[in-house]
Amino acid sequence: MPSSQVPLRGRTVKQQDARTGLLLLTPTLVIVLAVVLVPLAWSVLIAFQRVRLIDVGRMGLFDRFTLDNFARVFASDVLWESLRTTVFYTAGSTFVAVSLGLIAALALRRPFPGRGFVRAAMLIPYVAPVVAVTFVWKVLLNPEFGIVNSWGKQLFGWDDPIAFLSQARGEITLFGLDVPVPTALLTVIAFEGWRYFPFAFLFLLARLSALPGDLEEAATVDGATPTQRFRHIVLPQLMPVIAVLVVLRTIWTFNEFDDIFLLTGGAAGTEVVSVRVYELLTVQRNVGAAAAQSVLLAAVLVVLLGAYLWLLRRREGAKP
């Protein structure tokens, strides 16, 4: 190679770097391909095939294709019911978790003795094993020996214990009117708020600590009250983080399985789509229908992800 006898040094280093870069990344790409992308593609194939759980061992990759699974999934009333539940659950949980996170972050904004401990303690619900925390909540709310019901009876004079996790519809009396409420669904949303507010709190507190103080000081000099400063100076600067948090929480809650499965098993009006996928797979043993349902879920997710990436790009574009 005559032309490279006197190579430009920078260029060969660059070429070498490019090769090393791909080489270093290969193991990651291989495992992501093998355990995420290929299975996803396969899932789409299965969604168009008749596969029962007992056939799994001897099914072919390209067996006869059919639309039966989707027809079955779409025809079922349960789908629309569970989609409605999922949307309500997602919107409620996201709203509660992000709002609580914001309140907590604002409360901890200024230093006080013990702040480090309080901050760490408030992250525990998020890091603790989901199986353990759902179990504690189940016992806390147990109608027979849970502390919430026994205190409710003593302090608030409840006549009967409330079956927080197994009652689909309850009634609360407001101004003499009996208002029906989806008890179990609201309880699950409260749990999500409790478990995931730390995530929002962590990110909002990090952003709050990085805010430059001069704007707020100037506003204080100009006579702005604390709530005015929050409304017009702090909140606008937090909005980008809040937007990202809302999208992330929406994506994750929309597909959440563990929490609801462990708390209610999907009973009492809490059957979200992901729990239904699991039931199609293990109870009805219909792998094809389960795959169809999950592909549908993935489609919704791709739309949400697209929105998120678009938001992210717009944010990066807006930066100087």
Partner 1 sequence: MTWTRDRVERAVLGVLRPVVIVFFLVATLLPFYYMLMLSLRPIEDLLRRPDSLFPDLGGLTLSTYADVLRPVTEGGQGFLSLLGNSAVVASASVVVALAIAIPGAYAVSRLEFFGRRQVSSLFLVVYLFPSIVLAIPLFVMLTRMQLRGSLIGLVLVYIAQTVPVAIYMLKNYFETIPPSVEEAGLVDGLSRVGVIRRISLPLALPSVIATGIFVFMIAWNEFLFALLFLVERRDRWTVSLGLAQLSGSIEVSTTVLMAGSVVITLPIVLLFFLTERLLSQGLTSGAEKG
The residues facing 177 across adjacent strands are: 174
Sole binder of partner 1 in the list 71, 151, 178, 314 (CB under 8 A): 151
- For position 202 contacting partner 1 by CB under 8 A, the verdict is yes
Task: Give the closest residue to 185 by CA, choosing from 201, 203, 169.
Answer: 169
Min dist CB 177 to partner 1, Å, is 29
Sole binder of partner 1 in the list 7, 11, 12, 18 (CB under 8 A): 18
- C-alpha 158/C-alpha 190 separation (Å) is 20
Three-state DSSP state, 286? strand
Residue closer to partner 1 (CB basis): 67 or 206? 206
- For position 165 contacting partner 1 by CB under 8 A, the verdict is no
Residue closer to partner 1 (CB basis): 179 or 239? 239
Write out the two tokens for 258. Answer: 């563990």
- C-alpha 92/C-alpha 132 separation (Å) is 23
Which residues, numbered 283-312, are part of the site for partner 1 (CB under 8 A)?
A: 287, 290-291, 294-295, 297-298, 301, 305, 308-309
Place of tokens 């430059």: 212
Which residues, numbered 82-121, are part of the site for partner 1 (CB under 8 A)?
A: 100, 103-104, 107-108, 118, 120-121
Which residues, numbered 19-78, are part of the site for partner 1 (CB under 8 A)?
A: 19-22, 24-25, 27-29, 31-32, 34-36, 39-40, 42-43, 46, 51, 56-57
- For position 144 contacting partner 1 by CB under 8 A, the verdict is yes
If you compute the radius of gyration of the chain from its CA atoms, what whole number of angstroms results? 26
Integer CA distances (angstroms), 69 to 41, 139, 249, 284, 295, in order: 17, 39, 30, 13, 11
Residue closer to partner 1 (CB basis): 28 or 173? 28
